[in-house]
């Protein structure tokens, strides 16, 4: 669990414990008063028996916040009361449930590559030993900047070779003193300000893709990325994988996206409207079922729901929830934890 979530959970627990302390004092006073009443009723045997039966019935019907369970047992409480200020400080946020959209999405993998036409390979014009090198792999260079000098074997003069484009040095195949052979690449430079993302799509999924579809490109192991669109579907098939290649482009102003890196992407094929939807952050699992927490004032109740279609951000609600009800959409796990804690205390 993230540190900030631990802090929020601790804050909620401490605050509710403080509220519980006051409740315990009130309960002790009530118990003392009840003891006096029981002592006063000792002489009324018949009335005491009837009262005892009524007490048992009342205890079965009213103990805790849950309803009576099967076999004479009692269910765990399914609600919690949290003061608004404590909820605010704990990061608990509720929002009205309503209509939304659920995306038909395809998860694919891909590879980052430089744009064709933005890669330059620099060679020696005349053969001769390399006199000096002025750029290394990873250096950013400007168009016209001198990269190396060479002593020409033909003219017996020293000449320089310069970068034809601005970009980053991807490769250097030269050392001082070595003989530069005419036509052999000494440097490779690429403009990485914009990159291609080649997405590999298999089987029937390829038939759903077309230029213009929204794509979110993410680094491996990450859930957030950059948004772009499919530029084109390449006419051929990748030989090794036998996949269809959908190509998109991404901006790379800070240079953090690197050619050759594997990525994963989410392609949105269609947006489907639904009558009622909630964010995935609103969902929790309780008693082997999906629930959301509905807020009514300072009371938060667990509401079992039947779910339909979902995407990476939201899910359709088919039943169990009404439009306009306030649903906890952030820090819902804190409500679950408090209800389960109350249930554990209740069992003891």
pLDDT of residue 9: 52
pLDDT category of residue 13 using cuts at 50, 70 and 90: low
Give me the mean pLDDT over the 96-110 stretch.
91
Report the mean per-residue pLDDT for the chain.
Answer: 81
Q: Pairing mode, if any, of strands 179-180 and 314-319?
A: unpaired
Please say if the pLDDT value at position 6 is more than 80. Answer: no
Q: Which fold has domain 120-190?
A: OB fold (Dihydrolipoamide Acetyltransferase, E2P) (2.40.50)
Give me the mean pLDDT over the 285-311 stretch.
93
Instruction: List the one residue out of 55, 63, 85 whose CA is nearest residue 347.
Output: 63
Looking up tokens 């002025």, which residue turns up? 134
Domain-wise residue ranges, the chain:
105-114+193-269, 120-190
Q: Which pair of tokens denotes residue 171?
A: 């490769």
Please say if the pLDDT value at position 180 is more than 80. Answer: yes
- What 3 state SS string does 125-162 have? CCCEEEEEECCCCCCEECCCCEEEEEECCCCCCEEEEE
By CB neighbour count within 10 A (0-12 exposed, 13-18 middle, 19+ buried), where does 242 fall? exposed
Most confident of 36-45, 70-79, 258-267, 334-343: 258-267
pLDDT tens digits, 238-256: 777 889 999 999 999 888 9
What is the distance, to the nearest Å, from the Cα of residue 4 to the centroid of all Cα atoms in its chain?
Answer: 16
Please say if the pLDDT value at position 27 is more than 60. Answer: no
Q: CB atoms < 10 A from the CB of 345, how many?
A: 12
pLDDT tens digits, 123-160: 999 999 999 999 999 999 999 999 999 999 998 999 99
What's the sign of the alpha-carbon dihedral 9, 93, 268, 254? negative
**High-pLDDT (> 70) share of the chain, %:** 76
pLDDT of residue 12: 52
- What's the chain's Rg over C-alpha atoms? 35
Please say if the pLDDT value at position 100 is more than 90. Answer: yes
Please say if the pLDDT value at position 276 is more than 90. Answer: yes
Tell how many helices (H) and how many strands (E) occur in the chain: 4, 22
Least confident of 1-10, 253-262, 304-313: 1-10
Least confident of 33-47, 55-69, 103-117, 287-301: 55-69
pLDDT tens digits, 28-86: 343 344 444 444 444 443 444 444 433 333 333 333 344 333 334 445 558 999 999 99
Q: Which pair of tokens denotes residue 56?
A: 């048992």
pLDDT of residue 345: 57
Looking up tokens 């679950």, which residue turns up? 336
pLDDT of residue 42: 42
pLDDT of residue 206: 84
Please say if the pLDDT value at position 91 is more than 60. Answer: yes
Spell out the residues 6+ positions from residue 295 whose beta carbon is closer than 8 angstroms to its own: 94, 326, 327, 328
Give me the mean pLDDT over the 254-263 stretch.
92
Q: How far apart are CA 281 and CA 335, in angstroms?
A: 12
> What CATH code is assigned to 105-114+193-269?
2.40.30.170
**203 close to 124: Cβ distance less than 8 angstroms:** no
Give me the mean pLDDT over the 293-309 stretch.
95
What's the sign of the alpha-carbon dihedral 281, 282, 283, 285? positive
Give me the mean pLDDT over the 253-278 stretch.
92
More confident residue, 183 or 110: 110
pLDDT of residue 10: 52
Please say if the pLDDT value at position 225 is more than 60. Answer: yes
């Amino acid at each position: 669990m993230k540190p900030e979530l631990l802090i929020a959970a601790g804050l909620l627990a401490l605050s509710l414990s403080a509220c519980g302390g006051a409740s315990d004092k009130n309960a002790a006073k009530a118990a003392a008063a009840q003891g006096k009443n029981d002592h006063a009723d000792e002489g009324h045997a018949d009335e005491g028996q009837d009262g005892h039966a009524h007490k048992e019935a009342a205890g079965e019907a009213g103990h805790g916040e849950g309803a009576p369970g099967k076999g004479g047992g009692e269910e765990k409480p399914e609600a919690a009361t949290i003061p608004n200020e404590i909820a605010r400080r704990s990061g608990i946020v509720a929002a009205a449930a309503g209509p939304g959209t659920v995306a038909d999405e395809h998860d694919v993998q891909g590879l980052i590559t430089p744009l064709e036409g933005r890669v330059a390979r620099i060679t020696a014009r005349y053969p001769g030993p390399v006199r000096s090198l002025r750029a290394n792999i990873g250096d950013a260079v400007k168009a016209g900047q001198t990269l190396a000098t060479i002593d020409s074997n033909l003219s017996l003069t020293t000449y320089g070779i310069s970068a034809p484009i601005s970009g980053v040095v991807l490769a250097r195949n030269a050392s001082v003193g070595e003989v530069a052979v005419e036509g052999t690449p000494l440097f490779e430079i690429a403009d990485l300000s914009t990159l291609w993302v080649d997405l590999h799509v298999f089987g029937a999924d390829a038939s759903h893709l077309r230029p213009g579809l929204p794509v979110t490109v993410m680094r491996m192991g990450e859930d957030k990325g950059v948004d772009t669109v499919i530029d084109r579907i390449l006419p051929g098939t990748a030989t090794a994988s036998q996949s269809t290649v959908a190509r998109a482009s991404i901006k790379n102003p800070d240079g953090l996206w690197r050619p050759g890196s594997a990525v994963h992407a989410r392609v949105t094929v269609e947006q489907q409207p639904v009558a009622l939807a909630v964010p995935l952050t609103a969902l929790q699992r309780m008693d082997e079922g999906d629930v959301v927490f509905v807020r009514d004032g300072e009371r938060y109740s667990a509401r079992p729901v039947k779910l339909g279609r979902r995407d990476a951000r939201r899910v359709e609600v088919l039943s169990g929830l009404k439009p306009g009800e306030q649903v906890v959409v952030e820090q819902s796990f804190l409500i679950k934890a408090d209800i389960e804690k109350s249930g554990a205390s209740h069992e003891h």
